[in-house]
């Protein structure tokens, strides 16, 4: 779970996002890079991570290799973290990652909509415990860039179906003190 949380938006950093060699959505590209990263038990510089501003001396991977099953759980969680949830479709790690990101990025979903996944008191309690500021809206700009530079990627399907960027901008976490 921790690895999925830490790696789920790794490809939204400009160094990776600016690589226009592919039109993969950030979730899919992130899953591929996470698989590569977690599959090697020692520090390693790869062609995919060359431009991340890291080198093999300061980049580390888990000390103990993860099993293929564990790597698969993390990778699937990253690839599906923005996908709509279908009953019986997501593993537990992917479900928890998805729900956590819905709460963090969107405040649980549209306020008056059937898609709301979190009770308003849960949002209020979380916002009191971990207050946010407008500076935490940092994902809106990278997602806008994703939609502009990769117009055919999977991310655009969700952004067209829901007012994703507006939901992120109006996340109740950013308003509560």
Q: What is the mean pLDDT of each run of 10 residues along the chain (177 residues)?
A: 80 73 80 84 58 49 76 88 70 79 69 62 76 65 82 76 73 59
- How far is residue 128 CA from its own chain's centroid? 23
What's the token pair of residue 32?
């591929």
CA 54/CA 121 separation, integer angstroms: 41
pLDDT at site 82: 76
C-alpha Rg value of the chain to the nearest Å: 17
Number of domains in the chain: 1
Range(s) of the domain holding residue 93: 2-174
pLDDT at site 15: 73
pLDDT at site 56: 44
Provide the whole-model pTM.
0.71
List CB contacts of 124: < 8 A, sequence separation 6 or more: 176
């Amino acid at each position: 779970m921790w690895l999925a949380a830490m790696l789920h938006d790794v490809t939204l950093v400009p160094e990776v996002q600016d690589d226009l060699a592919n039109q993969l959505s950030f979730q899919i590209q992130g899953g591929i890079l996470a698989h590569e990263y977690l599959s090697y038990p020692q520090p390693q510089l790869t062609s995919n991570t060359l431009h991340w501003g890291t080198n093999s001396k300061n980049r580390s991977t888990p000390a103990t290799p993860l099993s293929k099953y564990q790597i698969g759980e993390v990778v699937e969680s990253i690839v599906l973290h923005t996908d709509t949830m279908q009953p019986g479709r997501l593993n537990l790690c992917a479900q928890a990652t998805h729900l956590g990101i819905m709460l963090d990025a969107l405040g649980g979903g549209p306020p008056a909509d059937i898609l709301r996944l979190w009770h308003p008191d849960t949002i209020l309690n979380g916002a009191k415990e971990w207050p946010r500021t407008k500076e935490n809206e940092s994902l809106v700009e990278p997602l806008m860039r994703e939609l502009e530079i990769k117009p055919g990627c999977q991310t655009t399907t969700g952004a067209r179906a829901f007012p994703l960027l507006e939901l992120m901008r109006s996340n109740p976490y950013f308003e509560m003190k």
